[in-house]
Structure 1
Amino acid sequence: MSAPPKAGGLPITSKRQLIEYFEAGCKPRADWRIGTEHEKFVFDLRTLHTVSYEQANGIGAVLRGLQRFGWQPVEEHGNVIALTMDGCNITLEPGGQFELSGAPLRSIHETCAEVGSHLQQVKEVGGELGIGLLGMGMNPKWPREDTPWMPKDRYKIMRKQMERKGKLGIDMMNRTCTVQTNLDFASEADMVKKLRVSLALQPIATALFADSPFTDGKANGFMSYRSHIWTDTDPDRCGTLPFAFENGMGFERYVDYMLDVPMYFVYRDGEYVDAAGQSFRDFMQGKLPALPGEIPTMGDWSDHVTTAFPEVRLKRYLEMRGADGGPWDRLCALPALWVGLLYDDQALDAAWDLVKDWTAEEHAFLRREVPKQALHVDFRDRKLQQWTLEVIAIARAGLQRRAALDRIGGDESGFLNVLQEIAESGKCPAEEKLELYNGRWNRSVDPVFVEFAY
């Protein structure tokens, strides 16, 4: 959502260019990489309050402090709103959620090294400023009106449009955190197969990572309230993409979907032009009300692609978007799960065999029920917990066959152990916190900022 805009590029004169944009993502297996993105809440250690951009120990100070490690600033209207270094970006979500968009890496071992280095740097700066970091799917304590907004113009446009749509879009923007992984594909057919498998199995990732049981300091009745929020955010740009399972699915069909997604903005001369609700199809004909007579560039298309938020998003790679944010070990576990399933042909075939006869109604059922019940959902003839154990076994075998080894000869399958423990117990992270909340925490969420902070 928050990557720097990509203004410029060739003018768009045909739909074929939009299809070729996605085709350019096809890579030989040797060039497949793993990108991991994770968001954290930043809070004042003394008050537990979400910090603003401007306050002395706020987000702006964190961004300035991190530059000692070689990060280069990206500014908007004189404010540092992002950092960049060696293929990585540090960006801000609307409510100050702090995000690392990692570099494309070869293995989960490299991913974990990247995550560890980032957290070490942020903790060093945070320790000096008296702030802490929390990985969960939903801010457990602070209500919407107490959450500060970051000084980024695109969020002003998005906020207004969100308020016109679903009831929970503002909560999505400023009170949720996720971890996601971005993976490559070899061809159009490979993309379609991976998209279908990952869409079908996204509820299993949601259940394993479910960690947002509190809202405004109280239990909210969900295991992953973050996931539920997306069901009432903006129906024009969210969801499970039922068309992806239909005959004829491919790059062109996804282009058609994106052309039907209403626009948010156009970036021109360092400014965001409000085009909320307008049509990219009209833009291609020079009929965009916000910029009459202009036609879009490929940079405009690249920006527009980032404004759809389905459970799995196609760019020039596939983004897995179903998981709540969490602690360090789960930040490494998410890419391990999806790499194990999607980067080994035998595992991908096994995963497809598992889900290929699931109906659209069953996909919708899982999307609706998993945020409430996590691994306890009854699906077909068994609990989702049993399906999840089977999926983890497929992923583990895929990672073992992949045989990406660390310096002491270990493969990547060990990163799944934390998920194995969750699946075997049937208890997602949210349930662990709810037991504490109803027990020794005495129905207070404040201890989460101590016991589960980074």
Structure 2
Amino acid sequence: MSGPADAGSAQINDRQELVSYLESGSKPRSAWRVGTEHEKFAFRWSDLAPLPYDGPDGIGALLEGLARFGWERVLEGGKLIALKHGMASVTLEPGGQVELSGEPLETIHETCSEVNEHLRQVKIVSDELGIGLIGLGFQPLVARSDVPWMPKGRYKIMRNYMPKVGSLGLDMMLRTCTVQANLDFENEADMVRKFRVSLALQPIATALFASSPFTEGKPNGFQSYRANIWTDTDKDRTGDLPFVFEDGFGFERYVDYALDVPMYFVYRDGIYHDVAGCSFRDYLDGKLKGFEGQKPTMTDWADHLTTMFPEVRLKKYLEMRGADGGPWDRLCALPAFWVGLLYDDQALEGAWQLVKGWTAEDRAALKRDVAKNGLRGSVAGKTVQNVASQVLALAQGGLQRRQRRNKNGIDESGFLEPLIEIAITGKTPSDTLLERYATRWDNRVEPVFAEMAY
């Protein structure tokens, strides 16, 4: 989850300014970039417990250790809660999950190098502290009540609000991890086309990246329990967004959707003010309770956009949010998957032809199906495995046509190899984990930490 945005303190006077904010993200093709974000669980090697913030081996100590690599410290209430370097940041999720939000970069080669350098730094510091970090979609061992909360003001507000709107929101906050890719658009028409294709195909990414089959030490019956968590988190800010596929969808329609998503907070002078459940429309009209007569700023709007959780989220770029966390090679595979599909016209058109006949009911059913069944699910008469293979072929072609080569002359399509293997075998990461659990792990999940730590 994001920290407070910095979009400017200018007062917003009307709805059109909100539309213009989103539209201002439009970029010429030459300026398109890709940003990768990933989260990981931190734990103590001595007992595999998640880390508290305080203490010699806590999250605060991990951040302080990372600061030596040229990161700028970000404090809240006197506590170190994030690091920044240029447009990149290291931030904390509510349960101490550590997130890298990378720079917008031109190639997958560059973003993968960024991920590898970050993990190198994390490894150095974590070895010193006797801790480890692991990429999975859901915390495999500990109960929700045993996960320490991080000292960030927005999380306190969300912690109080989540149980009012769903039964699994606190699990989302404390026990999930994801990997995400952020991509650009050229104009409104390009945004709409990419939004539709990526939203329809997020469940395919969910199946390929599924790595959350355990809850509190036992199989939970899901391929991606993380994906299931979102079905009962908060219906006001999650869901399938069927309006994206309706005629006339564009920046204005997304603004109307966002205005109807209840707020969490207003951030002023270093303090998060609790306005959970209140309307941004009221704020725009100067009627927000506790802020009567005041108008929102563009930073308030940017903050509000971060509090919506559809599987594709529009800001000044599009965020792909459908995948479980995983090992380093899949952290590089996700941006390759989406860049190959969305940054090549031929691949994008092929993907649209594949999904354009799916109904809203098809898309909703697919989303539920992959959480439970992964690649064994189906949509519109095809298996998810079959669709995944078709989509990966499109993405591979898109990356090959991009011709973005590293110093050894290798293009970006190689980053898809872990996903292609998954699609060919039909064995998801969750299938592999469950197989190990039933065989060499002797029905125990503890070995996953040693085998999959970064």
TM-score, normalisation: structure 1? 0.99
Provide the C-alpha distance between the structure 2 equivalents of 1:123 and 1:434, rounded to a whole number of angstroms.
27
- Tell me how far 1:292 sits from its aligned partner: 1.7
- Contact 1:240-1:312 within 8 A present in 2 as well: no
- Contact 2:4-2:267 within 8 A present in 1 as well: no
Structure 1 residues 183-262: aligned runs within 5 Å: 183-262=183-262
- Contact 2:366-2:378 within 8 A present in 1 as well: no
- Tell me how far 1:182 sits from its aligned partner: 0.1
One-letter code of the match for 2:354?
Answer: L
Would you say 1:443 and 2:448 are equivalent positions? no
- Tell me how far 1:236 sits from its aligned partner: 0.2
Q: Any idea what SS the aligned residue of 1:182 has? A: strand
- Tell me how far 1:7 sits from its aligned partner: 7.1
- Tell me how far 1:9 sits from its aligned partner: 1.8
Structure 1 residues 27-426: aligned runs within 5 Å: 27-426=27-426
List runs of 5+ in structure 1 lacking aligned partners. Answer: none
Provide the C-alpha distance between the structure 1 equivalents of 2:438 and 2:409, rounded to a whole number of angstroms.
43
Q: Over aligned residues, Cα RMSD in angstroms?
A: 0.8
- Tell me how far 1:442 sits from its aligned partner: 1.3
Number of equivalences: 454
- Contact 1:7-1:267 within 8 A present in 2 as well: no
Residues 29-58 of structure 1, C-alpha deviations (whole Å, 9 max, x = no match): 000000000000000011110011002101
Provide the C-alpha distance between the structure 2 equivalents of 1:378 and 1:188, rounded to a whole number of angstroms.
31
- Contact 1:274-1:290 within 8 A present in 2 as well: no
- Tell me how far 1:288 sits from its aligned partner: 0.5
- Tell me how far 1:290 sits from its aligned partner: 2.7
- Tell me how far 1:8 sits from its aligned partner: 4.6
One-letter code of the match for 1:163?
Answer: P
Provide the C-alpha distance between the structure 2 equivalents of 1:400 and 1:392, rounded to a whole number of angstroms.
12
- Tell me how far 1:5 sits from its aligned partner: 3.5
- Contact 1:161-1:276 within 8 A present in 2 as well: yes
One-letter code of the match for 2:375?
Answer: L
Partner of 1:9: 9
- Contact 1:40-1:136 within 8 A present in 2 as well: yes
Provide the C-alpha distance between the structure 1 equivalents of 2:86 and 2:11, rounded to a whole number of angstroms.
29
Residues 406-439 of structure 1, C-alpha deviations (whole Å, 9 max, x = no match): 0011100000000000000101000100011111
Provide the C-alpha distance between the structure 2 equivalents of 1:85 and 1:22, rounded to a whole number of angstroms.
25
- Contact 2:203-2:370 within 8 A present in 1 as well: yes
Q: Structure 1 segments of 4 or more deviating over 4 A?
A: none
Provide the C-alpha distance between the structure 2 equivalents of 1:285 and 1:88, rounded to a whole number of angstroms.
35
- Contact 1:283-1:295 within 8 A present in 2 as well: yes
One-letter code of the match for 1:180?
Answer: Q
- Tell me how far 1:276 sits from its aligned partner: 0.2
One-letter code of the match for 2:415?
Answer: F
Q: Any idea what SS the aligned residue of 2:139 has? A: coil
- Contact 1:263-1:278 within 8 A present in 2 as well: yes
- Contact 1:222-1:372 within 8 A present in 2 as well: yes
The percent of aligned pairs where both chains have the same amino acid is: 63
Provide the C-alpha distance between the structure 2 equivalents of 1:224 and 1:303, rounded to a whole number of angstroms.
28
Provide the C-alpha distance between the structure 2 equivalents of 1:395 and 1:373, rounded to a whole number of angstroms.
23
Provide the C-alpha distance between the structure 1 equivalents of 2:314 and 2:231, rounded to a whole number of angstroms.
19
List runs of 5+ in structure 2 lacking aligned partners. Answer: none
- Tell me how far 1:87 sits from its aligned partner: 1.5
Q: Any idea what SS the aligned residue of 1:351 has? A: helix
